[in-house]
Amino acid sequence: MRRMRHIGTGAAAALLLTTGLLTGCTSDPGSTDRTCADTPNGTPVAPPGPAATGTNIATNPEIATGYRSNMTAVRTRSFAVSSANPLATQAACRVLADGGTAADAIITAQAVLGLVEPQASGIGGGAFLMYYDASTKSVDAYDGREVAPASATENYLRWISDTDQTPPQPNARASGRSIGVPGVLRMLDLAHREHGKQPWRDLFAPAVTLADQGFAISPRLAAQIASSAADLARDDNAKAYFLQPDGSPKPAGYQLTNPAYSKTLGAIASDGVDAFYTGAIARDIVDATATTSGGRTPGQITLEDLARYQPKKRTALCTDYRAHEICGMPNPSSGGITVAATLGILENFDLSALKPDNVDRNGGKPKAEAVHLISEAERLAYADRDKYVADSDFVPLPGNSPDTLLNKDYLKQRAGLINPDRSMGKAQPGDFGPVPLGTGPQPPEHGTSHISVVDEYGNAAALTTTVESAFGSFHVVDGFVLNNQLTDFSADPTGTDGAPVANRVEAGKRPRSSMSPTLVFDRAPDGSRGQLVYTAGSPGGSLIIQFVVKTLVGMLDWGLDPQQAVSEVSFGAANGPVTGIGGEHPAIDATDRGDHDRLVQRLRELGHQVSVDQQASGLSALKRESDGWIGGTDPRREGAVMGDTR
């Protein structure tokens, strides 16, 4: 097999990486070497208008930035990568073209995303990874979630101290209290040691080059900087990096360099992850967390907290759905279990008879009956999630196993609660006897990204990665953003019934997440795991579950290709009366709150309170075909799919 000539770390890479949004990397003209080419309409999302820049961060993950209509799925031969930014996709694709594994590629993609999409993810955050090793046919679930410091009490986010019961200042998120011990780098190191092929050091070279030489701020990043300018201005490092000297936001097209990030990545590349978790970088993290500048309440992360952090390999959560096996992330992510529960309920209905109308490149328009059934199933699944799911190292699931919540007979009973003619509005959780827990809803994540990768060896990676809210805690240190992941805990440790909340803060505990990286397999004739056929995942906070469910249903039940499935109308519900219908989609008439849209009208007739607010998913999906792979990336962000195109 002829290989693409190596351009990942040399002068040619530096030249290509400084040109802004890349459109492809190719081998020598006329050769038969493999190429990395992106989707033909993978152009950046247009900057938001005035309404979008005022998006309510309490209900929307990051900022809404429009919709790219009529995107076309990308077909590749032996490898593919999809991420939320073309520069990250490009760099990861080069790793695959040079013979790297999916584990290698996600490290490079994450390093670049931390630079070009810092509002969403980075080395100061955490991640969950689902990884398929084709040689052993095994699925590994890697937990790189942040943890609370050893000194944290259940009131850590609630008030400054037991003697000073005032809230953290200026608020829990922007204080040091929101910052958890970052986990993504140790997790990626573990995955690389077990599944990597390329040298660790080489995988950071594209991001180092890009940080030194500079990149053009994308429209999406520019919009988020503008929306977050007041909060970024509180932190001297964030202010200097993201804002102009007069305090105005740096605009789209501004050539941004980050020598501090280059230095940080250089140390990690040369000395391994201990360079991050011990030594000068660790001291800088502790100091930044503990700052009281601007009247901020300090956090309590110590050098010992950083040095002690360990990622965890957990048992992948694999369940049946029709003719497929769905493998997702177990808790402390609630994503895998809630996606599986929703699909387990939906398995009792014939969704194939409810395919969208007028299917086109944008996925068509879903039928009201399908949206109703899927939203009702999600309400039931979220009800159990809200009550029972947290970090199982601290709070056991009912029956001490996800099998209790995912039992087929139980889910069939839950399906029987769905009235085809009327929304239930709010579902009640299942009754598993007395449990010492109260119900605690999860605040939405806002700063998250997703990467899907398949390599030439048949391995696959689905990585969902986050700093929690857009720009995390607004603390910038050594060129990267520190997370505010601890605000994913319930700040109040007790529920309305006085019982302790499952997702309360505890020392060393991991906050509950909704991240749902997913791998899908065919079932072999003997019932065993067959061939890997799909990967999927998305950012979007607590809506991630809904985004992934609609994409899986689109591909598995409705026969949509990956681009159509991620492009189709976003819809779904958490456990409340509101059903979301993404008003950014061209098939939805969002004027006058959707009053003129027939889908919205019909759902309201069924008792749904319908919102047509724009939804800012960042889905990616890959599907195996007989002669290679086909992939899609979310038109609501600025991502691209690349691979050795066919």
Could you identify the residue written with the tokens 């031969």?
77
Q: How many CB atoms are closer than 10 A to CB 66? A: 22
Look-up: residue for tokens 């980075």?
122
CA dist., res. 516 & res. 571, Å (int): 16
Contact 7, 22 (CB under 8 A): no
Distance CA 176, CA 152 (A): 12
Of residues 150, 22, 14, 9, the one with CA closest to residue 83: 22
- Radius of gyration from C-alpha coordinates of the chain: 23
**DSSP code string of 557-597:** TT---HHHHHHSPPEE--SSSEEEE-TTSTTS--GGGGTT-
Q: What is the β-pairing status of strands 476-477 and 460-468? A: unpaired
Q: Which of 486, 487, 474 is nearest to 294 (CA)?
A: 474
Catalytic choice (35, 65, 342, 448):
448
Alpha-carbon distances of 59 from 74, 415, 465, 474, 543, rounded to whole Å: 32, 28, 19, 19, 9
Q: Does residue 86 sit in helix, strand or coil?
A: helix
Contact 292, 169 (CB under 8 A): no
Cα–Cα distance for residue pair 24/16, rounded to 1 Å? 9
Distance, CA of 158 to CA of 171 (rounded, Å): 10
The span from the CA of 611 to the CA of 595, in Å, is 10
- Cα gap 245→242, rounded to integer Å: 10
User: Left if phi > 0, otherwise alpha if psi is -120 to 50, otherwise beta: which for 289?
Assistant: alpha
Beta strands in 259-386 (DSSP E): 312-314, 317-321, 324-328
Any catalytic annotation for residue 448? yes
Query: Which positions are catalytic?
Result: 448
